[in-house]
Amino acid sequence: MNKTHIIIIGQGIAGSLLAHELIKAGKKVLVVDNGHKTSATLIAAGMWNPILFKKLKKSWRADDLLPVLLHVYSELEEILDKKFMYNREIVRLFPSNDAANDFHLAANDERYSVYLEEKTQLEVEAVANDEFGYGTIKGGYIDLPVFLPAFKDYLENQDAFLEAEFNEKDLEITDYGVIWNGYEAEKIIYANGYKTTESKFWSYLPITRTHGNMLHVRADDLKLKGVFNNGQWLLNLEDGSYKMGATFEWDLPEPSPSEESKQKLIKKLESGLKEKPELELVKHHAGIRPTSADHRPIMGFHADHPEIGIFNGMGTKGIMLAPLFAKQLTSLITSQTPIEDAVNVNRFRNKTKD
């Protein structure tokens, strides 16, 4: 029997960052992934953005999440000896004069000014329908197709990765933890994205499958840098190509790219530009964001099975949320430091029991 401390199901952003923190804390882990068959992380744009556009407010816990994000991904760049974190300015076209005024007020408010800038962007003005103006937000992106395989190699080099389908019917709960597929562990943690909802332990959780389409395109005539946002985003990648998205659909059980969504994305981009760009499709992606009812991560251990844990509910913001909350879950495991109520899985259990 192979022994390990913790089995993690899923090597998306949640499983990867949790494995990273546990390894740093001296724990032996085994990450099990089925080849990213249903991965949201692999197809995500990987952006972070500290500001909610519509309300022009900081996104939840932005001031706490961002320093940890910058620290953790640059630490990983060093460990993996790969570059995958890039700063990107997000240029938001204002939909109205009111939106422009709100931005102006926020940019001069010290609570927001660290993230916002009012500056001239000539390459945007050259191509955009910027009738009401635009504002600049400081954000960035993680190149996930670079990060994920590099982190998998790192795990493999320490015998901490297994490419396999985890099937719950093969899981045995013992007096000391769990046994699965010849591995004995103290704990098992579900970090397998929307597929966690199929677990008999976690099916009661209010996790919605928020489907999304995204396009990877080349647009050689378009000289937009950073992220261009006219209600949907266009992210300029390091190799000069663009990712654009994303749609939201709620009635699709599995990822399925659709022609209708592709056309919707192209039309929306065109509405923000003076001229239609020539787009060459590199790849049309679709994925499912695991979204909790209150849009907060879901983590901790099962009330009836303390050897069974969860790290999930990353919704639309896995890149920002996973670094800080992987640290919190690790502290719970290694030193019993309680996790915040706002993200504790038991907030849902308590409600169902009331």
Ligand X SMILES: Cc1cc2nc3c(=O)[nH]c(=O)nc-3n(C[C@H](O)[C@H](O)[C@H](O)COP(=O)(O)OP(=O)(O)OC[C@H]3O[C@@H](n4cnc5c(N)ncnc54)[C@H](O)[C@@H]3O)c2cc1C
CB of residue 87 vs ligand X: minimum separation in angstroms? Answer: 14
Distance CA 290, CA 202 (A): 13
Question: Which position among 23, 30, 47, 69 is part of the footprint of ligand X (CB under 6 A)?
Answer: 47
Which residues, listed in sequence order, are joined to residue 52 by a DSSP beta bridge?
Answer: 57
Question: Which position among 177, 290, 309, 323 is part of the footprint of ligand X (CB under 6 A)?
Answer: 290
Which range binds ligand X by CB under 6 A, 108-116, 117-125, 187-195, 299-307?
187-195
Measured from the CB atom, the residue of 37 and 83 that comes closer to ligand X is: 37
The site map against ligand X for 147-176 (x = CB under 6 A) is ------------------xx----------
Backbone φ and ψ for 127, nearest 5 degrees, come out as -120, -15
Question: Which position among 8, 20, 46, 92 is part of the footprint of ligand X (CB under 6 A)?
Answer: 46
Measured from the CB atom, the residue of 43 and 107 that comes closer to ligand X is: 43
Distance CA 84, CA 54 (A): 29
Which range binds ligand X by CB under 6 A, 28-36, 59-67, 177-185, 267-275?
28-36
For the segment 242-261, give every residue that binds ligand X (CB under 6 A).
245-246
Distance CA 18, CA 72 (A): 11
Measured from the CB atom, the residue of 100 and 235 that comes closer to ligand X is: 235
Measured from the CB atom, the residue of 107 and 324 that comes closer to ligand X is: 324
- In Å, the largest CA–CA distance within the chain is 67
Distance CA 273, CA 278 (A): 12
Question: Which position among 2, 3, 24, 37 is part of the footprint of ligand X (CB under 6 A)?
Answer: 37
Residue 121 lies near ligand X (rule: CB under 6 A): no
CB burial of residue 269 (10 Å; 0-12, 13-18, 19+): buried
Distance CA 327, CA 341 (A): 15
* Residue length of the chain: 354
Distance CA 246, CA 273 (A): 17
Which residues, listed in sequence order, are joined to residue 235 by a DSSP beta bridge?
Answer: 227, 243
Give me the residues that bind ligand X (CB under 6 A), please: 9-15, 32-34, 36-41, 43-47, 165-166, 191-193, 195, 212, 214, 245-246, 287, 289-290, 312, 314-320
